[in-house]
Amino acid sequence: MNRNLKLFGAFFGMTAVIIGAFGAHALAEVLSADSLKSFETGVKYQMYHALLMILLGFNARTTSRIYQFIFYMLVFGVFFFSGSIYLLATNTLTGFDFTSIALVTPFGGSLLIISWLLILISFWSKD
């Protein structure tokens, strides 16, 4: 589990930098200020959780089942939260109306919140 947390954390961190650079350079000219700000929010949250995953990967306790659950909550939370924000922010550039999937964003955010709660519970109960 520790290896998976580090690998996915590094992958999410790398892709956050790539997506952020793409947004800053390629999308800055074609998106509104509000859409660009939303896009940047997706990048920030992706990076925050990438760093969290890497830090958790160095925690010796992450071999427990709760950390396996936290891992999946983080992966799907980042995918649904940040991914849906990227799609919603670039909605004007595609022919697809991504507002029809807007409920995916709070679902992904809920997964991220639950993962933080489980981390808190794990730290509280182990120390």
Mean pLDDT to the nearest integer, 106-124: 94
pLDDT tens per residue across span 62-76: 668 888 999 999 999
Maximum Cα–Cα distance for the chain, whole Å?
Answer: 52
- In this prediction, residue 96 has a pLDDT band, given cuts at 50, 70 and 90, of confident
- In this prediction, residue 126 has a pLDDT band, given cuts at 50, 70 and 90, of low
User: Do residues 23 and 36 make contact, with C-beta atoms less than 8 angstroms apart?
Assistant: yes
3-state secondary structure of 107: helix
User: Do residues 58 and 2 make contact, with C-beta atoms less than 8 angstroms apart?
Assistant: yes
Dihedral Cα 31, 32, 35, 41, nearest 10 deg: 90
User: Do residues 102 and 88 make contact, with C-beta atoms less than 8 angstroms apart?
Assistant: yes
- Give the span between the Cα atoms of 29 and 17, in whole angstroms: 19
pLDDT at 41 over 90: yes
- In this prediction, residue 23 has a pLDDT band, given cuts at 50, 70 and 90, of very high
User: Do residues 49 and 77 make contact, with C-beta atoms less than 8 angstroms apart?
Assistant: yes
- Percent of the chain at pLDDT exceeding 90: 69
User: Which of the two residues, 28 and 96, has the higher pLDDT score?
Assistant: 28
